[in-house]
Structure 1
Amino acid sequence: MKRMFAAVAAVGLALTISACSAPSGGSDAATSGDDGTKTIGVVALVATDALNAAVIKGVTAVAEENGWEVHVTDTNGSVEAANAAMITYSTTQKMDAIAVMAFQTPALQAGLQSAQAADIPVVSWGGELGAGVVATTSARQVGQDSIDALLEDFGEEGSIMALTYHTGVLCLYRGYAFDDTVAPLTSLDITRNEVAIPGQVEDGTRYTSAWLASNPEGSGPLAVWGAWDEPAIGAVAALQQAGRDDVWVYSINGGPQALQAVKDGTIRQVVWQDGEQEGELMMQAAIDYLADPTGWDQQSFDVPGVVVTAENIDEFLAEHPDALNP
């Protein structure tokens, strides 16, 4: 655990009291505790997404250090599937803890009630604190980091298309940060398009193509902001298809494909989120809660993002050599 605590100290962890595939028959049919091994059930928004995968990797690292097993269900963005997975983890599989990723807490009442009835703690990635949730990570911080860095780079005049996703709580709060920050900037023309999961890359391409038609080359400063990498990568595809190089693309998460796009110059800037560290913090919170439930206070972990551009990507990759090949 020394690596995790050193990382926390480095970013100055803030603790507060507040807070982007339906289960395939359950990705794990095993029940918990048959041999005394503790288990955690992870309810992923999209398990194949690079940032989701990084969080799961962090959860798994701390779990294995402490002798736990990890079971993962990929919900592919479905709230119904998330609730069903939590109920299964609480009843049939009898997990010792549950980690839920990027869903709004009020939408998980059925799952949370099942976990509470079984006295199983829930930790949330990017969700809100609520009854049954013992710890969460901030959903808004990297969104604020992104829009602040965008405006510093792009300026406060021109047209920006935002590719948003309000079902996932990380992207919801990133969208709140975007909206609150640009609201007073009347010199910015903002277009918003809501993408779907699945289909987030394709929607990014489709919306960008339509937006380009009404924002021709030479019409002024132009940018696309993606609430996470995949719609932004779709936007890059649309720009390449149209032969346009006058639109700057901004994104959040910093998965391998987005970082490579920064190296290639097709994404202007990405805010890298340290999902692995956040997963470590979530898992450790579950372990610490179970060690002393009566002495536990609900916690929210605030881990800042890292702004990655063409100017600093080589330095970033030297510090994070696994970022392109996790």
Structure 2
Amino acid sequence: MRSRRLRRHRTIPLLLGLVLVLAACTNSGTTTTTAADTEAATVTTGDVSTDTSAPEGSGSDVADLSLAGYTIGVAVVGTQHFWDREAFEGAVAEVERLGGEVVTTDGGRDNAVHAENHDIFLTQKVDAVITILGDSAVEPKLEALQAAGIPVFGVDHASPFVVNNTGSDNFYAGESAGRLMADAIGGEGKVAVFNAFSEALKFCGDRYNTWKYVLDSAYPGIEVIQPELAEEFANAPENARQQTLDLLEQYPVGELDAIHVACWDQPAIGVVEALKEAGRTEIVVSAIDAGPDTLEIMMEDGSPWVVNVAQQPRKIATIAVDNAARYLAGETVLPQSYVDVVPVSGPAQAAAVYEQLGYGD
């Protein structure tokens, strides 16, 4: 039997055509955002809330929200990875800031354990659940929570059983990664891609599909090598390192121009290590996530990692909790909230975004 971890915290007072194509494919609305320095605004469009300023979704002002008297479950797939840990800590902090009590679980980067952990919230009859990441294994648990009258709010987990899902603008993330990577190799060449999760995780699919659409529609001189690569989840950097070394044996100097990691950026750490080991730093690397560890790699002199797209996981989770507070207060909450991403190109931008997101504090 898999072990579960339970913690308790006590109260502490793009392209319009692109968008239309993807909307038709995924049946989900989207609002394409601009770069991080766009003018602050909150825009409501159909069934989507897009926030680009303070950590608030839609409805009443965040200063008026309260979770006093409520117990909120927060389930995270794991806390080993920066993104997951930052989102988890942001959700817990916001529940406590709003006066609620928190019951937390940590799946230890095991999706099956993460799914089973949701049973704890059913047993304890919490008032709402924030579920952070996870694959399809969690769906029956979310359905059971919904059937029990316990509302669930997703953090990068779109599901028919959540009231609202809050996540990055993954369409813009994929578009930015594709455009910047293509520009970095002069608009033509051969590209390998790590794409293990586009079928299992919707947000990964959104990022990959948009990235691929940009290449297919705007860069006919770029060839995506087949078959695509598939990184392991639990030991991604080392697994990607070994796969990259194998790839380099098949594609000598002049036959491979870029390696892209479609869903996240931990595998890219191993990709960079492999390129350095093989002396193949003419190949550029691109990915999506841009936590402090990977931005630091981009900032190194001569780093082959030249493109990333930074997310704001703490802000995403904070908005999810705020949406839960609004819902429990009787407000209508839109099914989807998006948070801006920040495209990063080259070491100078990596250093600037590192400071902008507070990683240098």
Q: TM over 0.5, yes or no?
A: yes
Matches within 5 A, 1:172-321: 172-184=205-217, 185-191=219-225, 192-219=228-255, 222-226=257-261, 227-264=263-300, 265-266=302-303, 267-292=305-330, 295-308=331-344, 309-321=346-358
Q: Counterpart of 2:161 in structure 1: which amino acid?
A: A
- Residues 207 and 51 (structure 1), Cα distance of their counterparts in 2 relative to 1, 3 Å cut: same
Question: Are 1:150 and 2:181 counterparts?
Answer: yes
Q: Is the 8 A contact 2:299 2:348 kept in 1?
A: no
Shift of residue 243, structure 1, vs aligned partner: 1.8
Q: How big is the shift at 1:134?
A: 3.0
Partner of 2:191: 160
Q: Does 1:47 align with 2:79?
A: yes
> What CA distance in whole angstroms lies between the structure 2 residues aligned with 1:41 and 1:11?
30
Q: 1:94 to 1:13 in 2, by over 3 A?
A: same
5+ long unaligned stretches in structure 2: 1-36, 50-67
Letter in 2 for 1:177: T
Distance in 2, Cα, partners of 1:224 & 1:80: 30
CA RMSD, Structure 1 to Structure 2 (Å): 2.7
Distance 2:329 2:337 in 1: 19
* Paired AA for residue 99 in structure 1: I
Structure 2 distance, partners of 1:138, 1:282, is 12
Displacement of 1:181 in angstroms is: 2.5
**Aligned: 1:130 with 2:160:** yes
TM-score by length of 2: 0.74
1:182-229 residue CA offsets vs partner (Å, 9 max, x unmatched) = 234442221321112112112211221111112212336x11111211
The residue type paired with residue 120 of structure 1 is I
For the structure 1 residues 135 and 75, does the alpha-carbon distance in structure 2 shift closer, same or farther, using more than 3 Å as the test?
A: same
CA distance in 1, matches of 2:38, 2:75: 24
* Alignment match, 1:75: 107
User: What CA distance in whole angstroms lies between the structure 2 residues aligned with 1:263 and 1:14?
Assistant: 36
Q: Which amino acid aligns with 1:61?
A: A
Distance 2:272 2:148 in 1: 47
Candidates 140, 146, 155, aligned match of 2:170: 140
The answer for the alignment partner of 1:109 in structure 2 is 139
SS in 2 for 1:311: helix
Q: Is the 8 A contact 1:164 1:193 kept in 2?
A: yes
* Paired position in structure 2 for 1:25: none
* 1:51-92 deviations in Å (ceiling 9; x for gaps): 111212221232121112333333345443333122221x22
Question: In structure 2, how many angstroms separate the alpha carbons of the residues matched to 1:139 and 1:317?
Answer: 19
TM-score, length of structure 1 as denominator length: 0.81
- Residue of structure 2 aligned with 1:66, choices 91, 98, 101: 98
| Paired amino acid for 2:269 | I
Distance 2:231 2:206 in 1: 15
Identity of aligned residues (%): 23
